[in-house]
Amino acid sequence: MGKVKVSLAGGSGYAGGELLRLLLYHPFVEIGQITSERHKGKPVSSVHPNLRKRCDATFCSLGELKPCDFLFLSLPHGESMNSFPKFSSLSEKIIDLSADFRLRDPAGYRKWYGVNHPHPDLLERFVYGIPELHREEIRRANYVSGAGCNATAVILALYPFFKHRLTIEDRTVVEVKNGSSEGGNSPGEASHHPERSGCVRSYKPTEHRHVAEMVQELRAGSDAPGKIHFPATSIDMVRGVLATCHVFPREEIGEKEIWKLYREEYGREPFIRIVKEREGIYRYPEPKLLSGTNFCDIGFEKDADSSRIVVIGAIDNLMKGAAGQALQSFNLMNGFEEKTGLEFPGLHPA
């Protein structure tokens, strides 16, 4: 099997660095160009020191990009949508890790991002990049949009309930705790060490942009109006997302039925693990165990005093929430084994 020549637009950020780390060890990838406007001409390893003696490339500018077999876009939100005609002229197959093509409805960009999408006709050509939901569409796609990290954790945790219409409308409440790398590598007041260290900071108790993706994917095919109540909290860790989801089913459902529901949906999924043990400190999903992996761990517990079911989802935001999931889609789009380059199991202790 021949190698695919892959270029990466926006390779100096955290997600871009993770993607490059994965691509370097992919047996069917030849690395082409890696761009960074801020670090043009500098060695890639000067920005990603974990790649010393593993990557001898230097960053180039976007204007220097040449045609390639496959192009990843890991640019700040807004840049891909404004420059997409140029990018599409360089490669027939593209995965965009930003939010620029995640929503199917152009009105969503006005509501959630405050912009009029410059290419609304392209939105339907992008497949939303969660393989567990859209695997066959991704196989046939030329364009895939990477899902948001918070959205990925929540969607995968709740999809079985929503797919089978088991929840009461407007009663799903999800609280996400996430690490500092979710904010990217551009420093600011919120990331300044004295302000960030030790924090448990509620930064988006309402109107988080990822809600648009959650509703789009979880409510797909439903005519009833739906809302997911979603606050987000920053905590003192670097990587990881932990989504605690409170679900209220329409009818009583037993624990064995919940097990069956998740086994039917995810039993053959290579990157989803159902975690529910009776004892031990890791009896529920824990982001710390997932650092560097493409796994999504999901657990649940039924409230003995009410109908409420608590579903817990955990991922590494830079992997299953960004670079890892993008590589999973890349494998599908190119006919490779889906797990190629993604089988690192994580570390313990970490």
Active-site positions read 149
Q: Are strands 296-302 and 309-315 parallel, antiparallel or unpaired?
A: antiparallel
Q: What CA–CA distance (Å, rounded) separates 147 from 101?
A: 9
DSSP code string of 231-245 = -EEEES-SS-EEEEE
Q: What is the DSSP letter of 49?
A: G
Contact between 161 and 247 under an 8 Å Cβ cutoff? The reply is: yes
**Is the separation of the CB atoms in 127 and 137 below 8 Å?**
yes
Task: Determine the Cα–Cα distance for residues 216 and 198; give it in Å rounded to an integer.
Answer: 34
Q: How many CA atoms lie within 13 A of 242 on its CB side?
A: 19
Q: How far is CA 100 from the centre of its chain?
A: 14
Q: Rounded to whole angstroms, how far apart are CA atoms 200 and 171? A: 25
Looking only at the bridges linking them, the beta strands covering 29-34 and 4-9 are: parallel
- In the chain, the N- to C-terminal Cα span, in Å, equals 36
